[in-house]
Structure 1
Amino acid sequence: MSMITIEELKNLKESEDKIEFKKGERGNISYDGGSKTKPSDRRRCILGYVTALCNEKGGYMVIGMSDNYPHQVVGTNQNLGSIGDLEANIYRDTGIRPKVYELFEKSKRVLVIEVPSRPVGKVFKFEDVSLMRVGEELKAMSDEVYLKILNEQDSDFSKEICRRLSISDLDLKAIEILKEKYSIKQNNPQFRTLSNEQILSDLELLVNGKLTNAALILLGKDEIIKKLLPQASIILEYRSLENQIPFENRLVYIQPFFKLIDTLWNTINLRNGSFPIQDGAYIFNIPYFNEEVIRESLNNAITHRDYRRTSEIVIKQFPQRLDIINAGGFPIGVTLDNLLITPSTPRNRLLADVLQKTGIVERSGQGVDKIFYNMLSEGKSEPDYSKSDFFHVTLKLSAVIKDRAFALFIDSIQKELPKHKKLSVLEIITLNKIKERLPKKNLDLEQVNKLLDKKLIERRGKTNAIFYILSKDYYEFTDEKTKYYNLLEPDDNEVLAKIIQFLDKEDFAKMGDFANLFEGKLSRRQVRARVDKFVNDKMIEQVGSGKSTKYILGENYIKEMEVIYKAIDIVRKTNNKEK
């Protein structure tokens, strides 16, 4: 991690260089405003300054140096021994991911909080106020500035001219691969015969004699990429244990995309294993890491990452898990909730267009669909994007097969359905949610109706207690018919048996107890109707009224049990006489 030096700090100016100096010798700079009641005083804290600096497109908060220019080191005890906690707490409380580190001049300690730039179109707040620095004060952002930020759009970095790049800096092997893939995708063998300049121009990688950043990323020689755009490198780390901090192997790749993507997959695949799956007499293997999933995940990371940020793409490989972390949050308008349904606008559109024209990707945004589709179709967990934030996208891919039967079931369905009716990724996700018994509110009603039409799921219950289960075919396929019948709506005899069993143990119950017994299978209204019927039949008895109403075993049930006990006693006495 590259850190600023004390000598550099001494010569920076607070306003021009986006830096805030605080002495804080005794470590008394408030973290969150503490007990101060005046808003302007509360803001002058670590969280307030971090928020304002982030809104100013990043900067530094420095504790332990004077604010008079040139800045002298005075030393500080601020967060001595707890800088890791400080970094974690800032991220927890603001969503801003800073770098916190210590610098020393002789025995005097300086604490540096390096604040990243806000993402395009995003404003951060402290105590619901969008802050900006105005002189020595932290003030609410003006409406004009606030609206200007909200209306920002990501510019296409890949389309910008890379002024220090020339055609001689491009990798000829990478260009040949591009030619080959384009000619196959476009069914145009003549493309291979065109000059390099013509090809680059046709793909808009060369504009008015100037090469773009996309040309550098896709085709630049290793040493040129390292010199002009070092953050375009990809780091691959391997650990044999998931809770292990130090890596056992670390490789850094700085190559043009058209050579890099195969190299990366081949390296990951060296440690790839597989799960044997038996379908009748036939045994086949499902790999830990599906090639299409890994390639699409890497394509997305390279296409969508923010190359203006100085951090690399990091891949962490474990025996049965793989994480991919890339700089820059989701594109504008994309969130965890709409990841699969919102058309994605790539952060680097020209880069994405070239990959589409060469058949690396089919269309923008489709890669995520393929990742979900393959993972769930193989019986694995959904791809996990939950650790993503405004500054990074983190994708976790589990190799573990959670449900082999589900994988075989999906495979059998897809083989039987005609091409135009095959299951979509959203339908498979919905099937998986129903299998996992997630609440109805988590289901996409449009997908539910499609699955009902295909008779792959069944509706159970009524009104508020409606729920869905996989079709009987699934449970017959998995040889688990009893599970299917256990999921059906209970009839009167089953409901009464469960209520009697509860009252036998608890002596009395309230309506809420009965509702809890059948949660997810019967609505409260349905439970009340059944209970009223059992009261009329005198199988249970209602005691009291209103909120104090209780239920106990009823007269007819007690009589029935007396008859049963007498019959048992007669049989026992008869058996004793015969002996």
Structure 2
Amino acid sequence: MSMITIDILKKLKESEDKVEFKKGEGGNVSYNGGNKINPSDRRRCILGYVTALCNEGGGYLVIGMSDNHPHDVIGTKQNLDSIGELESKIYTDTGIRPIVYELFESLKRVLVIEVPCRPAGKVFKFEDVALMRVGEELKPMSDEVYLKIIQEQEPDFSQQICDGITIADLDVKAIAILKEKYSIKQNNPQFKLLPDDQILSDLELSKNGKLTNAALILLAKKEILQEKLPQAKVMLEYRNFENQINFDNRIEFSEPFFVLINELWNTINLRNGSFPIQDGAYIFNVPYFNEEVIRESINNAISHRDYRKTSEIVIKQFPQRLDVINAGGFPVGVTLENLIKTPSTPRNRLLADILQKTGIVERSGQGVDKIYYNTLSEGKAEPDYTQSDNFQVNLKLSAIIEDRAFALFIDSIQKELPINEKLSVLEIVTLNKIKNKISKKDLDLEQVNQLLYKKLIEKRGKTNAIFYILSKDYYEFTDEKAKYYNLQELDDNQVLTTILQFLSKEGKAKMKDFVGLFEDKLSRKQVRLRVEKLVKNKILKQDGESSSSIYEIGENFINDMEVISEALNLGFQLLEKNKAPKIERAKKRPEKDQ
């Protein structure tokens, strides 16, 4: 993205060009309102102006220039040597992702905070107040403006007409691929024989002879796409180390989508490897980067990205990780929490519809399902969308197999189940959560019941201490069958043995110590009832009451153990005594008898 220049800034008008000028000579523009008490004074700060500008569709907060037109350069010390920190703080405190940079005229420094446009339907607030600029003031947003924004629907950019392009500007190879894929997906071989203009019209890629932005993105020649929509390109960056800032290699893909997608995957696959997974004589290889996962990730980025933003899709490939970053946050109604459950409506609906009709995607909104399904089935970490926000989607995919046994477990299940009963993505996600000991309250009860019915998980504990584990099959793949049996529900003898082992080492204990011994296996109430029973039977001795009680091994139990020990000693002595004559007699036997 190119930065604005001081010469351009001097000519801008604050209200018309969405820019706010502040002198800030001594670096004295407040970040968040400081100690000011009056709300209208507190708002006149960096966070207040950034919030208002974002709500107005983006703009510039310029510090170090006069607010009188034409704007003279004053110079500022605002955030000298800390512009990276300022950028990070604004994002943390507002959720708005600005770009902060310095400009210079002679030795005079100007600080520019470039504020992005808010997403459709989204309003940003400062101290719980949605702000807008009114003259020199920052005012609470009027109800009329607020309602208009939150009721916005994102326009379908791909459906809009792209002025100035004709069928002659489309790539012949891209059109051939479109025809081929559509005819196969729709089982319509005759489609390939239709004239290009009819195909474009039938698929709504042209309207009244004018081509849409979807036609531009999917089919236009490279040079036309570069001219009309340069941000449609995809940048593939390769780095040898994950903490590396500068890339080792960078390749630009600016072809139409139907040509680009195969070339992009083939280039990523050049640095692909695989992990062999073996169970006895059975071996299968899991690639670092699963082709279906990578293709779906790119398809999602193409369908969902905001083409009004001037940044391109960036793919960062490392030896064992791959990131896909595209402009524009999640579609309206989609969040990190409901990412898999909520069918998404793509920003570019016409473009996504073409991808579905040509078999590039199975159905709109299913791409994330496939990404999760394949990634978790291979025993890899869950796809990571946590770095996403209102302005970009950031997907991180790990190539590392974290749990070989889980991959074998899922593979064996899917092989045995008939097609109509194979595990769904939500079931696999739930199995993965149970494997990772995610809290019971964070599990989908419907999926849990399905998995219990299929005998793929087992319930342990009672009442508040209920938890779930994967079935015995999983622990056989881990070669840790003992761990499975250790997770069985504890009986009274196991509880007694565990408590006595603890007391034999520590001497004394409190109730919280016993609760800790059986964490995740017994509830506090269940532990307390068992301890009370042991006290009643005088196996344990209790001193004090309620939470201050101290427990020791009871004298009756010690006496009983001493009697048992003495009896065992007498038994061993008698055994030794009876054994001695037999040995003597054996020694006296003639050699031939021996």
Common fold: TM-score over 0.5: yes
Query: Bigger CA drift: 37-46 or 22-31?
Result: 37-46
Identical pairs, percent:
75
Q: 2:86 is aligned with what amino acid?
A: L
Shift of 1:568: 8.1
- Secondary structure of 1:114's partner? strand
Write the distance in 1 (CA, Å) between the matches of 2:236 and 2:476.
44
One-letter amino acid of the structure 2 residue matched with residue 267 of structure 1:
T
Distance 2:368 2:457 in 1: 25
Aligned to 2:146: 146
Give the distance between the partners of 2:546 and 2:177, measured in 1 at CA. Answer: 79
Aligned length: 578
In the TM superposition, 1:122-133 aligns within 5 A as 122-133=122-133
* Distance (Å, rounded) in 1 between the aligned partners of 2:179 and 2:130: 50
Deviation per residue, 1:370-423 (Å, 9 max, x gap):
111111111111111111000000000100011112111111111111111111
Alignment match, 1:11 = 11
Provide TM-score, normalisation by structure 2: 0.94
Of 36-45 and 71-80, deviating more is: 36-45
Q: Which amino acid aligns with 2:558?
A: I
Write the distance in 2 (CA, Å) between the matches of 1:107 and 1:417. 73
TM-score, length-scaled by structure 1: 0.97
Query: In the aligned structure 2, how far is the partner of 1:374 from the partner of 1:37?
Result: 54
What is the CA–CA distance in structure 1 between the aligned matches of 2:158 and 2:225, rounded to whole Å? 14
Question: How many Å separate the matches in 2 of 1:572 and 1:292?
Answer: 69
1:391 correspondence with 2:391: yes
Q: How far apart are residue 436 of structure 1 and its match? A: 1.3
1:529 CA displacement: 1.2
In structure 2, the residue matched to 1:353 is: 353
- The secondary structure found in structure 1 opposite 2:267 is helix
The letter of the residue matching 2:502 is F
Query: How far 1:508 moved relative to its partner?
Result: 3.1
Deviation of 1:217 (Å): 0.2
Q: Tell me how far 1:512 sits from its aligned partner.
A: 2.5
**1:277: Cα distance to partner?**
1.4
| Counterpart residue number, 2:511 | 511
SS class of match (1:16): helix
Q: Which moved more, 1:132-141 or 1:450-459?
A: 132-141
Instruction: State the Cα distance separating 1:281 from its structure 2 match.
Output: 1.6
1:86 and 2:59 are equivalent in the alignment: no
Checking the alignment, whether the CA contact within 8 Å between 2:20 and 2:62 is kept in structure 1 is yes
Distance 2:565 2:36 in 1: 75
Q: Counterpart of 1:455?
A: 455
2:134 maps to which residue?
Answer: 134
Aligned mates of 1:565, 1:142 — CA distance in 2: 86
SS at match of 1:68: coil
Partner of 1:220: 220
Deviations 1:106-149 (A, max 9, x none): 00000000000111111111111111111111121112211111
Q: Which moved more, 1:192-201 or 1:544-553?
A: 544-553
Corresponding residue SS for 2:308: coil
- For residue 15 of structure 2, give the secondary structure of its aligned residue in structure 1: coil
Structure with bigger gyration radius: 2
1:55 partner letter: N
CA distance in 2, matches of 1:200, 1:373: 34
Residue number in structure 2 paired with 1:267: 267
Secondary structure of 2:299's counterpart equals: helix
Equivalence for 2:161: 161
Contact kept, 8 Å, 2:459 with 2:468, in 1: the verdict is yes
What SS does the aligned partner of 2:218 have? helix
Q: CA deviation at 1:65?
A: 0.3
Partner of 1:328: 328
The within-5 A match list for 1:411-560 is 411-560=411-560
Are residue 295 (structure 1) and residue 295 (structure 2) matched?
A: yes
Aligned match of 2:178:
178
Paired residues for 1:39-78 under 5 Å: 39-78=39-78
Instruction: Give the 3-state SS of the residue equivalent to 1:15 in structure 2.
Output: helix
**What is the CA deviation profile of residues 500-520 of structure 1, one whole-angstrom value per residue up to 9, with x for unaligned ones?**
233334443332222222121
- Calculate the aligned-residue CA RMSD, in Å: 1.8
- Write the distance in 1 (CA, Å) between the matches of 2:188 and 2:575: 94
The aligned amino acid for 2:441 is K
CA distance in 2, matches of 1:515, 1:141: 54
* 500-509 vs 158-167, which moves further: 500-509
The C-alpha deviation readout for 1:213-255, integer Å capped at 9, x for no partner, is 0000000110111111011010000001111111000011111
1:32 alignment partner in structure 2: 32
1:253 maps to 253
